[in-house]
Structure 1
Amino acid sequence: MYACSKSVPYELVLHWKFCIATTAAMSRRRLSSIFASSSSSASSTASTSAPAKLVCALPPAYAVFKERLLSGTLGPDDARHLFDEVLLDCDLAKAPNQLLSALARAPPSVASSDGPAFAIELFKRMDRCASPQAAPNGYTYNILIDCYRRAHRPDLGLAIFGRLLKTGFGLNVVAYSTVIDSFFKEGEVDKAYDKFCEMKKQGISPNVVTYNSTIDGLCKSKAMDKAYDLFREMKKQGISPNVVTYNSTIDGLCKSKAMDKAYDLFREMKKQGISPNVVTYNSTIDGLCKSKAMDKAYDLFHEMKKQGISPNVVTYTSTIDGLCKSKAMDKAYDLFREMKKQGISPNVVTYNSTIDGLCKSKEMDKAEMVLQQLLDAGVQPNNITYNSLINGYSSLGMWKESVRTFKDMSNCGLTPCVISCNSFMHALCKRGRIQEAKDIFDSMVKNGPKPDVACYSVLLHGYATQGCFADVGNMFNLMESNGITPDHHVFNILINAFARRGMMDKAILIFEDMQKKGVNPNVCTYSTLISAYCRMGRLSDALEKFNHMVDVGVPPGSPVYSCLIQGHCIHGDLVKANELISEMMNKGIPPPCIKFFNSIINNLCKEGRVAKGKGIVDMIIHTGQSPDVITFNSLIDGYCLVGDMKEALRIVDVMTSVGVEPDVYTYNTLVNGYCQNGSIDDALTLFRDMFHKGVTLTSVAYSTIIHGLFQAGRTNTAKKIFHEMIDCGMAVNNYTYSIVLSGLCRNNCTDEAIMLLDKLFAMNIKNDVVVFTTMISVMFKVGRREEAKKLFAAISTYGLVPDMYTYGVMINNLIKEDSFEEADNIFSSMEKSGCAPDSRLLNGIIRTLLRKAEVAKAGNYLSKIDENNFAVEASTASLLLSLFSIGGKYHEHIKLLPTKYQYFEGACQNQYNVEPGISLS
């Protein structure tokens, strides 16, 4: 029945037949039924798939095995019996190898869940029982090594090397390539690379597959230098990289941020005649997007379409994400819609990128629409989806929507993660709603997720911003008691909180404490302290900290030097400032830019210290820069403020002589200077000269001269120029109208002002609430209280809403006129309208009430300060101290204040030093 080679010894044949006899458990009837059930498909397979020379040689068992393996119906028992049948046919030496190879590569099925493992079992069967013609050969062992690779056992694959050597087949490039790939796949990079080097020492030349496996493995293990060297080496060895080689190398270079090399390789492969595929384009586009080379990425996206390569979901997602992050939201949204039209379903990453981009571009309606599309498509949103929406709404001050989104997140089955909670808490703290943020924090402590150091940092920063130092201390202590180690960020928050209020002793205590706890100060820590010392004029302390940071190896950068330079300039030591500039330039640190110096000059001039400001000009020249028009304008403004118009005009001559032409701001400053110094005729002359010199007159120029004329009582001339402004087609803005209305009222032309206001309304000129506020304020000042109240009542009829400043003008003026009940009613209506009072308004009301001896009412507003976690301003605290300390005017009424403010009992004004903006909580 079984044809045998005559060269095979009879004893071996007997032994072989004895081994095969173990298949007797399967009856001939069963074999016949298997053959019969598959005869038609098997014969079809044989006639269509097998080479012509093998058609007659293939037995039914081989065909049935292959057919049932491909259909996923080959069970283990049938496979064993069919494989044994194949082994018995001595004319088919290659057939067992082909079946083992097919089985190793077969996908899992109901009949057989693990092809590689079963192939190994059949190999052992073959090894024990096969005929000499079908004994394992080098190809069989290579298949076995590949099975171990697929079974994630590179060590067993490596063990086969011994069998190859023992049987005399020897090691070959396929065996090495498979073992190398296997070790890389299991993350054993060193072993894989050692085998690569070993095979070369054995005289076995790596082929393109070997190089591909090694380069890909090195790229994925971030050993990019080795991978790139191998890429170049294979070319020198005469082995041409294929598309797989290029894809692995390009992807690795992109992920290691070597984008220039990656892009060069992309162009090189095209020159070599190797066509990039969708994988190549995806890696390159993603790398370009992440390196912010968005123009190249976008061009490449369109190039691949021209080449006939269809972008897939990965391509679209990378490109959309890159466009969103580069703020090209229109293009990103167009691509998002395009991919859906092309029948490519966005995944959650695509949706998240689009939603985040829309939120950051403040298109919340579109973002909500995309979220709905996500839900309709059956895609599950995640924390990232909702974090984007929460941050988007929070940045726009849409707190109700933020809260609603946070609740939606929980309602859809998502547990807010730490990042989600942090985002929401941060948004609340920015709004000053610290108690609500603390409620979220408390919920995290109770229900999870457990707060991390970032959560504590958010609350610490919120409390510190409001000056609530007791809460800062409590939160810090809670943090440590809960086992959370404070990091640089936490300590820097605390140091900044005290330093920016001038409380340097406490800031230094924290600075020392962080070092005791093993947290070394960084450049931000030192910069905070140095900046605070410079603001306070404690320049020696600032320099001491500067020298300390250098000594401990923290390199001072441009911001630190800038703090010191600014401090020395502001406090008059220009010599030291110049030394610091020279020092930073010698260290290769770029000197401060012209804007930095202009800011210092402007501040000095605004304070009337023009001579010091002028000295900064030499410093600008010392850095190799030239003063610009802003520099000169600041000096001119400074001289105008101190009343030295002669020197201001001389600066104009100087700037012209060095080639800097005066601009409209220069002339506006001079006109304003003449007005403020009572030289209204000179101001008018210069204003007229501006027109003749071809200087374009702006609304600011007109507003400046009109304001000056009204201040000088030159009402008719002011009105004349105002009409000239209108006649020449100049757009009159609300600022100019406010000047005219205010000027008319102050010059006893109130009726005319009201007529102008009525005219504006009749002309449907869009006014803002500032115009009303100006008129109301002026009406109170000229004693026309009822008209002021009527104007306030009329605001809503014109579709406008009073702002906080409008409410403040009304409330404070009503208090001054003893209309306390009306003032309280307006405050209540303000709160009901959704206009929440800020710290400045409340402090102002308290001071006005105290000056009117309304202590109890002032106490009510002090309570509102506490409710909102606001700070008592220095001027308010000072007034409280002076009025309620021993000997104070209202000491006997101290009990009318809230309890926490009754500490003045027995205190003198200097016994409690309240820093600016510090909460008394």
Structure 2
Amino acid sequence: MTMMMMMRGWRSSSLSSFSSAFDHLRQLGSGNPRSATSLFYSQISYFSTTHSKKKPKYVFDQIDGALNKFDQMLHMHPRPSIVEFNQLLGAIVRMKYYETAVTLLRKMELLGIYPNVCTLSILINSFCRLHRVDFGFSVLGKMMKLGIESNTITLSTLINGLCIGGKVAQAVRLFDDMVREGYQPNLITYSIIVNGLCKIGDTTRAILLLSTMEEIGFAPDIATYNTVIDSLCKDKHVTEALKLSSEMRGGMSKVGRLAVAQELFKEMSAYGLVPNVIIYSILLDGLCKRGHIHEALGLFRVMQNSGLEPNIVHYSILIDGLCQVGQLKVARKLFCALKVKGIHPNGYTYSIMIRRLCKEGLQNEAYELFSKMELDGCMPDSCSYNVMITGFLRNNDTSRGVQILHEMVNKGFSANASVAAMLVNLMSSDSTGEYIRAVVQKL
């Protein structure tokens, strides 16, 4: 199969030439880059500017600064390399001035500034963001005529454009063609496809894709898992989400998730792509695991300001991170704010708070929270029971610990290894009363 065959079904609907795509866009009102109509979002990645080894070369508060820099570059002798132009265009796209980026690229073409694969991938991404994926395919055709070989990012951008336009079936078809052509999908490609399936509510197929990836030897990464988990949470399938999250944590514990996220973010940023809930969850988890809670909170605010809606997974990561560094007051405030935001804590979130309260010697408050779980529509599970029992026993409140143990066993749950060890020590202690011994022996 050739690249031309990969474009089947699109050639008839896309424009016949690269230039006509520019001309058509100019008719939409983007002829003057300084009067671009797209909404300006001053969104510069928190992570890329504070944690990546190399900061973006160009960062602007307003579009005028970028346009002035573009004019300066055009009048330099010799002109900067195409790499520098790409860096500037990437900054403009990150500001979401897609029409402006297209116009500047048109000007570059007229001035004879020869593009490379990154330049044209930025153009394709801009067209896709403007909901003109057909123009994106026209650019792909132009690349073929120029002898510029497309890469995985180029095709992934088109796949993303199809998903943005709700054409997930066509995106999956292009993905299949891409693999048959010998292109190796990367983390971005899989993330886009899985996200597209989840976007249309086809979580079942998304989970099947995870299995297919494992079968062909491409281990799903944390980003791919988190996409499906996010969809399951939105569909209220919390149990399935927690199960998948457990599998993910077991499989990804030794591969340096934060490092993977950094590389993925840098690759996306280079092509003008912006982070989504998946990438943010990876970065939040990585920062919290390393105790960088202030950076995590800053990143969380950036996520909210970007228009993305955090779910219970993101909040649980932050609450756990706050508890780990001893900021119980802030964690409690964030936990209490969940209901106001219409987000319901799950068993895992409750267990985080109960565990920390007990560690701080606040077992009465912990038990009060534990008692409210069922009233809030969240039935206590084995994890929350064991956490509560552990809290009582470690704080020498043996009577209530055994009481909760009795309740847990009656509901069909079992003590975990930690609680079992504590019970063995309890039974061997001379200070343990006969009533407590009798209750434990009965259990």
What's the TM-score once normalised by structure 1's chain length? Answer: 0.24
